[in-house]
Chain A
Amino acid sequence: EKVMTQSPATLSVSPGERASLSCRASQSVSSHLAWYQQKPGQAPRLLIYGASTRATGIPARFSGSGSGTEFTLTISSLQSEDFAVYYCQQYNIWPYTFGQGTNLEIK
């Protein structure tokens, strides 16, 4: 099983600032990496797939980068609605696995 590790567990950022979230895979997942946003009481929402492709309707302030074992989700200028928990997921091989999440909170 490929273990996905996200850091930091909690990130405190002020609105308007930039946030960078990290995801590391225990073995290469190529570019088979997705990012999700989850707000309390809601289902996850797909943000990024293929490590860097924004899903339909996702604002341009969200960007993904990386390949192999190191990935980053960047939010260029945080809006109030961006404060949530973010998960990465590898779909390179079964079982698909998720990181433990990064809680992005208002500073």
Chain B
Amino acid sequence: QVQLQQWGAGLLRPSETLSLTCAVYGGSFSGHYWSWVRQPPGKGLEWIGEISHSGTTNYNPSLKTRVTISVDTSKNQFSLRLSSVTAADTAVYFCARHGGSDYFQHWGQGTLVTVSS
């Protein structure tokens, strides 16, 4: 049974860097893509980017200049860094595992990140 458990700082000041990590328990880490998705309060879902177990990344062009997704296969973990945050980056951030294709089959519990001065 696949479980994703995520953590990271929940309150940031403008211009700081958001940092979240997602640990994967159960199932195979290799052979899958792993993504970050965010959801501003009361709004819809936005895909941030993805990474393979070997480190290949793809990012949403809307965030590409500020996003870095990395992977640590020794720990079955992957991480998100988003630089120069503003209030517009306030959202619940989810990690997710892709299924057989690029839909999101398994999700983390979500982490609310608030950007406020």
Interface residues of A (CB under 8 A from B): 1, 32, 34, 36, 42-46, 49-50, 55, 87, 89, 91, 94-101
Contact = CB atoms under 8 A, between A and B. Distances in A.
A45 B103 CA distance: 11
Contact of A44 (B62, B102, B104): B104
7 contacts: A32-B102, A42-B110, A49-B105, A87-B44, A89-B45, A94-B58, A101-B44
Contacts of B109: 43
A98 B62 contact: no
Contacts of B35: 96
A97 B101 contact: no
Interface in B92-110: 94, 99-105, 107-110
Nearest to B106: A46
A44 B103 contact: no
Nearest to B102: A91
B101 A91 contact: yes
A42 B94 CA distance: 10
